[in-house]
Structure 1
């Protein structure tokens, strides 16, 4: 069952740093056969999150590259404060964060150069919440 209690969420974050580099792209049409992690329809076009390798293979423009930290706690989409708490610790560490809430988990995209520092900050948040 998905968790709504903020203290329980924070103490059970279990963050995992994924291996790939990811990028955010904007396209008018989805290229055939591209593998994407996420698609969101915006007024300006389709926003994609895909690996940097896929973006380069399909010659898609992007700015910056990111690593994904998955929060392996089963968070409710109605939980209050999880994104704010994670964003706050990353802000204090001077790390930008792009949070994507999916059905089961939240995924935090941070600049690749800051990934290990971000992972440590999120782990410390979880540890201090126990």
Structure 2
């Protein structure tokens, strides 16, 4: 287990272009031609995060429309504290956040109408050194 690095200067949040959605489909669904940015097998089905236009074209139900922000700071999968810091900062601004940890980066899915506010909040964390 690693402790949180106190240097936030490399947090570097990046807002991806486009609208992304969460959807749930049967586990056996062929996703081979889709740009799936995250997936999770659950008892109820296969949760996918993908571009909205692909979900619509595939006829998938849309559960949540969102913006995708990647924290370009490399974070270890066993590090402690980083998620709590940015989740608390976003919560203080009443911005919900769904977090997916990648091998190298954390990915945040935030409400579309709060994407710019979320990005500003994360940039302030970066400059304030609070993460």
Same fold, judged at TM 0.5 (above): yes
User: Which residue is equivalent to 1:51?
Assistant: 51
Q: Aligned partners of 2:48, 2:78: CA distance in 1, in Å?
A: 24
Q: Aligned partners of 1:22, 1:43: CA distance in 2, in Å?
A: 23
1:38 deviation in Å? 1.5
User: Which residue is equivalent to 1:100?
Assistant: 100
1:20 deviation in Å? 1.6
1:53 deviation in Å? 0.6
What is the TM-score of this pair, normalised by structure 1?
A: 0.91
Point out the more displaced range, 27-36 or 42-51.
27-36
1:4 deviation in Å? 4.9
What is the TM-score of this pair, normalised by structure 2?
A: 0.90
User: Which residue is equivalent to 1:121?
Assistant: 121
Gaps of 5+ in 1: none
Q: Does 1:17 align with 2:15?
A: yes
1:39 deviation in Å? 1.5
Q: Per the alignment, in what secondary structure is the counterpart of residue 88 of structure 2?
A: helix
Report Cα offsets for 1:40-59 as digits up to 9, x if no partner: 11111111000101110101
Q: Per the alignment, in what secondary structure is the counterpart of residue 61 of structure 2?
A: coil
1:34·1:58 contact (CA, 8 Å) conserved in 2? Answer: no
1:26 deviation in Å? 0.6
Q: Per the alignment, in what secondary structure is the counterpart of residue 84 of structure 1?
A: helix
User: Which residue is equivalent to 1:41?
Assistant: 41
Q: Does 1:70 align with 2:70?
A: yes
Greater helix share, structure number: 1
Gaps of 5+ in 2: none
